[in-house]
Structure 1
Amino acid sequence: MACCDKSETDLWTIPLIALNVSVRKKLELYLNPRNMVAADWMVVAETMGFNYLEIQNYEATNNPTRKVLEGWQARSTDASVGKLLSVLTEVERKDIVEDLRPLIDEDVRKYCESLKKKSEPPVQVNDIDSCVPRDRVGLTLEDDPDGAPELFDAFICYCQSDFEFVHEMIRQLEQTDYKLKLCVFDRDVLPGSCVWTITSELIERRCKRMVVVISDEYLDSDACDFQTKFALSLCPGARNKRLIPVIYKSMAKPFPSILRFLTICDYTRPCTRAWFWVRLAKALSQP
């Protein structure tokens, strides 16, 4: 039986069954897309001990992450919450661990409370395995939790030192005849929620495209790194024009290699600067 006293819970003793549907669905959101720049479900499956033929079989399913978790839970005696977090850390998916840890801790708390009410740990716990989704809450200033979510033409990925250029982007693209709608985190997102959860929701479901403001400071930003890799994992390759890199000042560091296959909007070239905003606005206006 798992140790669930008032002291800090040993997550290695908590079985995987303790994790709610909501946590599992977020894991699927992160890991199902094939990813060339971050570990996906295949890397996680290999780390869990699945062999090549098993992984090939899971690849043929509609939801491989779900099948991997179910298979791991069924066959492994050490398929615990602690082991899952260890696997995600080992494959360098710190973003997933940081995003899901509050939800995981809440699920573990509910699981431990259910054990106290019964002499034997249940196979299924209603509070944990409920399929009732959490209510959607407002993420942005103009979001209506009771209506349609607020949508944007583009999510702007930037670091704080580049905010002056972001202000110029707002002026050129929103306050002119282009009338585009940009998602600028510091301006549009309500405070108080997990950064990783909000940015994932906005990039995947609320924004048609993402503009990445490239600078030396961008290369040192964990948040920008996560946002860029997440967007690339949703839509690999340049054919769908989902992600648009922008350079507005000279750089001392090399341009990020994961973006070199994408066409760049370069504000640093005086001879083409007159066309810069027209090209960017046209790209963001595409359906």
Structure 2
Amino acid sequence: MACVDSKVDLETIPLIALNVNCRKKLGLYLNPRTTVASDWMAVAEVMGFSYLEIKNYEDTKNPTLRILEDWQARNEATVGKLLSILTEVERNDIVEDIRPLIDEDVRKYCAYQKKKAAEPPVQVPEVDSCVPRTPERCGITLEDDPEGAAELFDAFICYCQSDIEFVHEMIRELEQTDYNLKLCVFDRNVLPGSCVWTITSELIEKRCKRMVAVITDEYLESDACDFQTKFALSLCPGARSKRLIPVVYKSMKKPFPSILRFLTKCDYTRPCTQAWFWVRLAKALSLP
């Protein structure tokens, strides 16, 4: 399929290109359960979600939005594939109605990507003509030099306060050993007084090569962890850059987050792999 510009193949446009208005309209069509037309369940089934996953989505307020968020982490999640799925479940009415919205979103996405590609590469350390530089950019961690380069890390650690003891163990195993990795632990490295959301976004995107998410039942209830995880996933659609590494260190009562189910996790709860846990994690964080 092609958008307004016939040269653009929608099969190459990632699903992340669709903005909130388009997704909202899809929800208006697909969320209501009906016996005369395919709904979100039929779409989720064609996308490859399992029966149990689909049943869990029933309890969410907007199941269509949830399946789109989770599906876009897959390599095959493109705008063209979504339109093909809607056609397959015989919802051509939706395709016809939302196509103008899709074309506009794809046009904006392509224009942004073209502009981004045309921009000259940023030197390292970054050359900044703004004087003075804002505190959010040069004074957010303990080792930041206001007159020099920003402090960089091998990994940002996404965790809940209840799991801080495991984070301390992670510091001992990865920083204070021959691995010599540098971790960004919010409570240890970040200076107080700035907007949490702005700082975490800056650190995850620009300061840290990767992010380690410590997955526990408490993690699933944390708004901060949810934001950090989704932000990290948005930077690497389809997990192509291995940017996000899920870690499980204790048993969970709740199901593993569906948005991360396609990522290989580092599981400390399995006795057969505990001996290799820190070696595998350190190697993954040491990659370029």
Q: TM-score normalized by structure 2?
A: 0.60
Q: Secondary structure at the match of 2:167?
A: helix
* CA distance in structure 2 between the aligned counterparts of 1:197 and 1:259, rounded to whole angstroms: 23
Q: Once the two structures are superposed, what CA deviation does each residue of 1:78-99 show, in whole Å capped at 9, x if it has no partner? A: xxxxxxxxxxxxxxxxxxxxxx
1:217, 1:52 → 2: CA distance? 37
Amino acid at match of 2:20: V
Paired with 2:250 and 2:101, the residues of 1 have a C-alpha distance of: 48
- For 2:237 and 2:221, how far apart are their aligned partners in 1? 23
Encode CA deviations 1:225-245: one digit per residue, 9 max, x unaligned.
000000000111222111000
Asked if the contact 2:18/2:102 (under 8 Å) is kept, the reply is no
Q: 1:64 to 1:189 in 2, by over 3 A?
A: same
- 2:111 is matched with 61
Aligned residue identity for 2:141: T
- 8 Å CA contact 2:18–2:106 kept in 1: the answer is no
- 1:43 equivalenced with 2:17 (yes/no): no
Alpha-carbon distance in 2 for matches of 1:45, 1:192: 37
Structure 1 pair 237/63, CA: closer, same or farther in 2 (3 Å)? Answer: closer
Matched, 1:136 2:113: no
The equivalences for 1:55-204 within 5 A come to: 55-62=105-112, 135-137=133-135, 138-204=139-205
Deviation of 1:205 (Å): 0.2
Change (3 A) 1:186 1:279: same
Amino acid at match of 2:242: K
Check the 8 A contact 1:34/1:233 in 2, yes or no.
Answer: no
Provide the aligned C-alpha RMSD in A. Answer: 2.9
Q: Secondary structure of the equivalent of 2:283?
A: helix
Q: Give distance in 1, aligned partners of 2:261 and 2:231.
A: 16
Matched, 1:251 2:252: yes
1:155–1:209: 8 Å Cα contact kept in structure 2? yes
2:234 counterpart residue number: 233
Number of corresponding residues:
188
Mapped partners of 1:271, 1:63: distance in 2 = 45
**1:44 Cα deviation (Å)?**
4.5
Structure 1 unmatched ranges of 5 or more = 1-32, 66-130
The residue type paired with residue 211 of structure 1 is V
Aligned residue number for residue 269 of structure 1: 270
Identity %: 72
CA distance in 2, matches of 1:132, 1:220: 39
